Structure 1
Amino acid sequence: MMENLSIHDPPPQPGGSALGRAAAAASTAATTAAAAATPQPQQLPPQMFTTAAQLLDLTDKKLLVCLRDGRKLNGVLRSWDQFANLVLQSTVERIYAITSDPSDPQPKGLYAEQAHGIFLVRGENVLLLGEIDLDKDDDPPPGFERAEFAAVEKLAKERRAVEKTKEKKKLQKLATLGFEGENLGEIIL
C-alpha cells in the first residue's frame, strides 16, 4: 500500500496500524492549519538596524559628523570598528556664529573652518552623522559669510555664554515656582 506523505507529516511509527497513522496525520494537519492561521512575526528590514555594521555603506564617503560637545566635523570615513569609533581623513571642523536675531527665519552670521587632517572620533561621542552631497559641498551655508577661525570662535563662545546665563535665569525662575530640574543643583551652589 502506497501512502502520500508530505514533509509536515510525522515520521511513521514502527508497527503502527493504518488507522493510527491516519489519526496522527489528521492531528498534524490540524496543527499545521492552526500554525498557518496564526500570523508569523514580521522580519525587520536591514535599514532598521543601528549597529556599527551600517557604517559599511558610508566607508570612503565624505560625512558630516556632529559631536555631543557641539563640534561639527567634515571628513572622509576611512575606518570604523564594532563600537562605531570612526577614523576620518581630511577632517575639517566648521564653526558658526549667528549674528542675526535668533527668531529670524533665515539666520545670518559667520562661519570658519579649521583643518585637522586624520581625526579619531570615539563612537559614544557621535550625536549625528550623514553623507555630504559633494555637489553642494563647496557652497557656503546660506546666509553665512566666511571669516577667520579665531574671530568666529570668539563670537560663538560669547553667544553660548549669553545663552547659558539666560538658561540659568530661567531655571532659577522655575525653581521659585516649585519646578525641579536636572540642573537645579548648579543653581543652588
Structure 2
Amino acid sequence: MMENLSMHDPPPQPGGSSLGRAAAAAAAATTTTPQPQQLPPQMFTTAAQLLDLTDKKLLVCLRDGRKLNGVLRSWDQFANLVLQSTVERIYATTSDPSDPQPKGLYAEQTHGIFLVRGENVLLLGEIDLDKDDDPPPGFEKAEFAVVEKLAKEQRAVERTREKKKIQKLATLGFEGENIGEIIL
C-alpha cells in the first residue's frame, strides 16, 4: 500500500514502526526544535532514482536499438548518463535452409567511456554480475563485422516490410505518423 505523502509530512520513523498521521503530527508538535524537512523516498524524480544505480553495471537500451553495457559513473537532472567500461552488444539471427531453427549470433565492441543523452534512453536496468560473463541463451559469439552485416540486412528487410504494411494501411484509409514518407 502506498501513502499519498506531501512535503509537509514528517519523514518515516526509523525502527520500522509506522505512526498514524495524527500521532505523527502530535509527536512533531511536542518537539521544541524544528527538524529539517526531508523528502520521502516516494517524492524522488526519475533522474534522482539513478542514485541507487550509481557505480553499478547497467544494460542501457537506446531508442535507435543499440544495447550498451557499462558502469554508471555519473548522471544529471536530465538523466544524461556517463558509462565507464562500455561495451556495445549487437544481435542477429542466421537462417540456414537445412536447419529449421535459426541460429542466434552476438558480438561486442568496446567503447570505454560513453556519454548517453537522457532523451535517447529507452530502458535501463542493473546487470546480475553472476550471469554477466555467460553468453545470452540461444546465442553464440561471432565476429563483430559478421554480426553487424547480418543485423543491418535484417533491419533493411524489416524497414521494407514496414513500408509495405503502411502503404497497404494507407490504401485502406488508415493514417499513421509515417504516411508522409511513403507518399512523397
* Coarse TM-score class (shorter-chain normalised): 0.7 to 0.9
Q: 1:82 deviation in Å?
A: 1.1
| Distance in 1 of aligned mates of 2:116 and 2:177 | 28
In structure 2, do the counterparts of structure 1 residues 142 and 18 end up closer, same or farther at CA, with 3 Å as the change threshold?
Answer: closer
Conserved in 2, the CA contact under 8 Å of 1:100 and 1:109? no
Q: TM-score, normalization: structure 2?
A: 0.73
- 1:2 corresponds to which residue? 2
Q: 1:143 deviation in Å?
A: 0.5
Q: Which runs of 5+ in 1 are unaligned?
A: 27-31
In structure 2, do the counterparts of structure 1 residues 34 and 158 end up closer, same or farther at CA, with 3 Å as the change threshold?
Answer: same
| Distance in 2 of aligned mates of 1:116 and 1:15 | 45
- What SS does the corresponding residue of 1:78 show, helix, strand or coil? strand
Q: 1:49 deviation in Å?
A: 4.4
- 2:144 corresponds to which residue? 149
In structure 2, do the counterparts of structure 1 residues 12 and 104 end up closer, same or farther at CA, with 3 Å as the change threshold?
Answer: closer
The structure with the largest alpha-carbon Rg is 1
Give per-residue Cα distances to partners, 1:113-161, cap 9 Å, x unaligned: 0000011111111111000000000000011000011110000000000
- 1:11 corresponds to which residue? 11
Give per-residue Cα distances to partners, 1:140-185, cap 9 Å, x unaligned: 0011000011110000000000011011111111111111111111
Q: 1:24 deviation in Å?
A: 26
In structure 2, do the counterparts of structure 1 residues 24 and 40 end up closer, same or farther at CA, with 3 Å as the change threshold?
Answer: closer
In structure 2, do the counterparts of structure 1 residues 43 and 19 end up closer, same or farther at CA, with 3 Å as the change threshold?
Answer: closer
In structure 2, do the counterparts of structure 1 residues 40 and 146 end up closer, same or farther at CA, with 3 Å as the change threshold?
Answer: same
Q: 1:83 deviation in Å?
A: 1.0
| Distance in 2 of aligned mates of 1:18 and 1:130 | 31
Conserved in 2, the CA contact under 8 Å of 1:86 and 1:121? yes
- What SS does the corresponding residue of 1:91 show, helix, strand or coil? strand
Greater percentage in helix = 1
| Distance in 1 of aligned mates of 2:28 and 2:25 | 12
Q: 1:108 deviation in Å?
A: 3.7
Conserved in 2, the CA contact under 8 Å of 1:172 and 1:187? yes
In structure 2, do the counterparts of structure 1 residues 105 and 86 end up closer, same or farther at CA, with 3 Å as the change threshold?
Answer: farther
Q: Which runs of 5+ in 2 are unaligned?
A: none
Farther-moved stretch of structure 1 (45-54 vs 9-18)? 9-18
> In the comparison of the two structures, how many residue pairs are matched?
184
| Distance in 2 of aligned mates of 1:41 and 1:173 | 62
Q: 1:46 deviation in Å?
A: 3.0
Q: What is the CA RMSD across the aligned residues, in angstroms?
A: 12.5
| Distance in 1 of aligned mates of 2:102 and 2:146 | 18
| Distance in 1 of aligned mates of 2:61 and 2:124 | 6
Give per-residue Cα distances to partners, 1:80-138, cap 9 Å, x unaligned: 11111111000000000022599999974100000000111111111110000000000
Q: 1:44 deviation in Å?
A: 11
